[in-house]
Amino acid sequence: MCKEPESDKKIILASLNGHPEDFRIILDRYGSRVFSLCRRMVGKMHDAEDLTQKTFVDAYTKLHTFDLVRPLWPWLSRIAVNNCKDFFKSAKRKEVSSKPYCSSQDGIYPVKWDNPEKNHLVNERKAIMERALMKLPLKYRAVLEMKDIQELSYAEISDVLELPISTLKIRAIRARKKLEHAVEHVIFEMRNRHAQNN
Amino acid sequence: MHKITEKDELIRRVLDEECSPEDVERHETLLADDLDYRNHFNTIERNKADLKNLATMDSAPLRADSKDKIMERVIESRSRNLREFAEPKSAEENGSGPLATLPLPSSPTDTKKSPYLYAVGLMAACGAGLVLGFLLARYTTETQPPLLKHSVATKSLNANNELKRKNSNSTDNEKQAVDCRELTKVRFVLHAPNAEKVMLVGDFNNWSNKATPMSDNEGNGVWRLTVPLEPGSYRYKFLVDGERWVNDPGADGKINDGFGGFNSLISL
């Protein structure tokens, strides 16, 4: 018999009512999504892991403030984005945008330009987008992450980044233009590498 | 920095679904007549769609050991919360109940840091007991030995020591207790016949007034809720219809809430 999965709401209530171990289910459901978000924002796997940990611990300690009527993911993603923002505020942190993370050490999906299979093409396109995204400065990457990937409204992004909506709209235009160039650049790099290998 | 043109702004409005009927008309005209615009729009639109796909793909699975670390920190943070909330904050806030005769530590470590405080408290309690004993000895008969008031003071002291001992033990063994899941099911009951909703609010849910609703399943105005709790002391109250705070008449005790009232207290 297939058991219906517990709703987020039930698990949250159980976690609040003396069953913190139930929070593991939330972690299993959203852990990879939060981790992927953090990795896109900060680039390094190690930093992304730390930020993912912080996001879930923060989420747990603020769980009583979560409005159970709303879906969990937008709330979690906001905590993650805010943590990423704080990460970059730290004086010691410098922009890592110029360093692509799709390397053997940090990348999950190494890019294979010559693979003909469709699913690999999807992964390939995804890898291109991720690499291109990482080439952008954080202020543009953050807007794209929230607007085009997480699909938050400008009002919500304004709340997180503490910027006027008009500024964010201009930033979104610039970010999309920069992404366009970055994608072209990544494809150019990959073609060159492919040509050299052959 | 590239200047943003009217066409850039139009593309943004189209992609963000903010365009007016005039925008749609202009957009369609440009798509038909302006090759640069069409190419630029198509590229940006495709990139946007590809970015959206990134959200639904867990491109980087979170490692199991990383999840374990998170859960360790979650359990730890919960234990810390319980320790902080399970103990009254200061002598002033304790009010005048039997448990408030001596100041209690605000955290387990304070017990070690402030032995002076407890020595003073101990001496004061004993002194008060002796004075009262002396006075009672003068004004009572031999059949009523002057130990009544003194015994009350001693009881208070024992109660404090007992609570301190429990707190100390719970600190030392907190993790073990959590791991072993020594949970006690506690049923909270409130008779509120005219209420539309009743919330249980307390240390165990970080005083959330939304998280723990009680239910009146029989429709007779008796609101019930069973909550599994770890060993410790918890302050709580009932919130009736979102506006009226009510204490539990069947509570183990009550404790000053710092706002001129009291919270109900339960000790497990």
pLDDT in tens, B55-112: 766 566 788 888 888 898 888 877 666 655 555 444 334 433 333 222 223 333 333 3
For residues A117 and A197, state if they share a domain.
Answer: yes
Q: What is the value of ipTM here, to two decimals?
A: 0.71
Q: Is there a contact between A44 and A134 (Cβ–Cβ < 8 Å)?
A: no
Give me the CATH number covering residue A181: 1.10.10.10
Query: Cβ–Cβ of A48/B60 closer than 8 Å?
Result: yes
- At B243, the pLDDT band (50, 70, 90 cuts) reads confident
Give the residue numbers spanning the domain of B243. Answer: 183-267
The structural domain count of chain A equals 2
> What pLDDT digit, counting tens, does each position of A91-146 carry?
444 544 434 333 333 333 333 334 445 556 667 788 888 889 888 988 898 899 88
Residues 96..135 of B with a Cβ closer than 8 Å to A: which?
A: none
For residues B157 and B192, state if they share a domain.
Answer: no
For residues A105 and A127, state if they share a domain.
Answer: yes
What does the alpha-carbon distance between residue B194 and residue B223 come to, in Å, rounded to a whole number? Answer: 11
A139 vs A182: which has the higher pLDDT: A182
B2 vs B34: which has the higher pLDDT: B34
% of chain B surpassing 70 pLDDT: 58
Q: Mean pLDDT for chain B?
A: 68
> What pLDDT digit, counting tens, does each position of A22-59 carry?
899 999 999 988 998 888 888 778 889 999 999 999 99
Give the residue numbers spanning the domain of A167. Answer: 95-198
For residues A99 and A88, state if they share a domain.
Answer: no
What does the alpha-carbon distance between residue B80 and residue B106 come to, in Å, rounded to a whole number? Answer: 13
Query: Cβ–Cβ of A174/B1 closer than 8 Å?
Result: yes
For residues A105 and A194, state if they share a domain.
Answer: yes
Residues 64..83 of B with a Cβ closer than 8 Å to A: which?
A: 66-67, 69-71, 73-75, 77-78, 81
Give me the CATH number covering residue B260: 2.60.40.10
For residues A79 and A101, state if they share a domain.
Answer: no
Say whether pLDDT at A65 is over 90: no
CA torsion sign, A43 to A46 to A50 to A52?
A: positive
For residues A87 and A117, state if they share a domain.
Answer: no
The structural domain count of chain B equals 3
> What pLDDT digit, counting tens, does each position of B18-30 carry?
989 999 999 999 9
For residues A83 and A103, state if they share a domain.
Answer: no
For residues B97 and B168, state if they share a domain.
Answer: yes
For residues B88 and B133, state if they share a domain.
Answer: yes
For residues B19 and B100, state if they share a domain.
Answer: no
Query: Cβ–Cβ of A61/B12 closer than 8 Å?
Result: no
Q: Tell me the chain A residues in contact with residue B12 when contact means C-beta distances shorter than 8 Å.
A: 169, 172-173, 176
Instruction: Say which of A13, A18, A56 has its CB closest to residue B230.
Output: A18
- Burial string for A161-198 (b: 16+ CB within 10 Å, else e) reads bebeeeebbbbbbbbbbbbbebbeebeeebeeeeeeee
